[in-house]
């Protein structure tokens, strides 16, 4: 016999709308219901136990990435596997990687790697779906290069004015480099090898070399073992 009186074991409810209980805490809840006959005769309410109320955590997408070349010199390289780690949180039912280069997406793998074969700028996306059917996307844009840089100079002025006194290549992401200087007849005049190159100061056996043209030859090795060979003309000007 209505109206009924409903009370709850927890949560928040309005006495005017007793059928509605609100809570933000997972757990077991019971609704206690009595009708007008029960109230009039002092009968206890009937307990209706709900199935455990479970609140799922919204999914938040996140990932980290690294590669051998990026750890070595901060540059992502073609041909060098880039490793990805899913760091997302929440109650997730599915997630998909998209590497931004037209390759097929990968789903359901927390740790994966990908190789880019062409230099360019790529946006990686990790899209996840949580228990509520909501989607969350985390993305990061990276620049992929050939993985190294070597610039050969073309001239220097070893005239003891403190400016441009030596000649050497500018390079980055190289594990070791050998620089050789030759005259135009093919005779080697100078050689230097190492991770740091100080450069040729324009002398031969301690004596100043003549103005003119020479050849610089560079052999370098990258972090992934690739050997790079470059050469070009240089001019000595006093």
Instruction: Give whole-number Cα distances, 111 to 104, 188, 221, in Å.
Output: 16, 50, 29
Q: What are phi and psi of 104, to 5 degrees?
A: -60, 140
Q: Hey, do 63-145 and 149-236 end up sharing a CATH topology, with the first three levels equal?
A: yes
Burial 103-133 (b: 16+ CB within 10 A, else e): eeeeeeeeeeebebeeeeebebbbbbbbeee
Confidence check: pLDDT of 15 > 90: no
Confidence check: pLDDT of 225 > 90: no
Delimit the domains of the chain by residue range.
Answer: 5-49, 63-145, 149-236
Question: 213 in helix, strand or coil?
Answer: strand
What is residue 51's predicted lDDT score, i.e. its pLDDT? 87
Q: pLDDT tens-digit profile of 119-155?
A: 999 999 999 999 999 999 999 999 999 999 999 999 9
Confidence check: pLDDT of 16 > 90: no
Which pairing describes strands 5-8 and 30-34: parallel, antiparallel, or unpaired? Answer: antiparallel
Region 107-128: mean pLDDT is 97
Confidence check: pLDDT of 210 > 90: yes
What is residue 14's predicted lDDT score, i.e. its pLDDT? 87
What is residue 54's predicted lDDT score, i.e. its pLDDT? 87
| CATH number for the segment(s) 149-236 | 2.60.40.2550
Q: Which CATH class is domain 63-145?
A: mainly beta
Confidence check: pLDDT of 75 > 90: yes
What is residue 99's predicted lDDT score, i.e. its pLDDT? 98
- Strand boundaries in 55-201, DSSP class E: 63-67, 76-77, 82-86, 92-98, 106-107, 111-114, 120-130, 135-145, 149-151, 155-156, 170-172, 174-182, 188-194
**Percentage, residues of the chain above pLDDT 90:** 87
Question: pTM above the 0.75 mark?
Answer: no
Q: pLDDT tens-digit profile of 28-68?
A: 999 999 999 999 999 999 999 998 988 899 999 999 999 99
């Amino acid at each position: 016999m209505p109206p009924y009186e409903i009370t709850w074991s927890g949560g928040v409810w309005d006495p005017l709308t007793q059928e509605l209980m609100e809570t933000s805490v997972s757990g077991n809840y019971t609704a206690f219901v009595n009708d007008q006959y029960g109230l009039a005769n002092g009968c206890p309410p009937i307990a209706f136990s709900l199935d455990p109320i479970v609140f799922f955590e919204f999914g938040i997408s996140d990932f980290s990435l690294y590669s051998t070349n990026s750890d070595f010199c901060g540059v992502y390289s073609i041909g060098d596997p880039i490793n990805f780690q899913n760091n997302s949180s929440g109650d997730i039912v599915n997630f998909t990687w998209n590497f931004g280069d037209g390759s097929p997406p990968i789903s359901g793998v927390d740790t994966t790697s990908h190789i880019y074969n062409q230099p360019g700028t790529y946006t990686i996306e990790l899209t996840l779906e949580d228990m509520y059917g909501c989607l969350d996307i985390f993305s990061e844009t990276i620049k992929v290069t050939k993985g190294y840089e070597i610039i050969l100079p073309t001239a220097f002025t070893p005239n003891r004015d403190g400016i441009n006194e030596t000649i050497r290549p500018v390079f980055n992401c190289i594990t070791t480099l050998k620089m050789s200087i030759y005259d135009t007849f093919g005779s080697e005049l100078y050689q230097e090898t190492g991770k740091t190159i100080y450069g040729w100061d324009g002398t031969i056996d301690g004596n100043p070399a003549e103005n003119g043209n020479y050849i610089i030859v560079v052999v370098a090795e990258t972090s992934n073992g690739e050997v790079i060979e470059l050469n070009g003309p240089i001019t000595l000007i006093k």
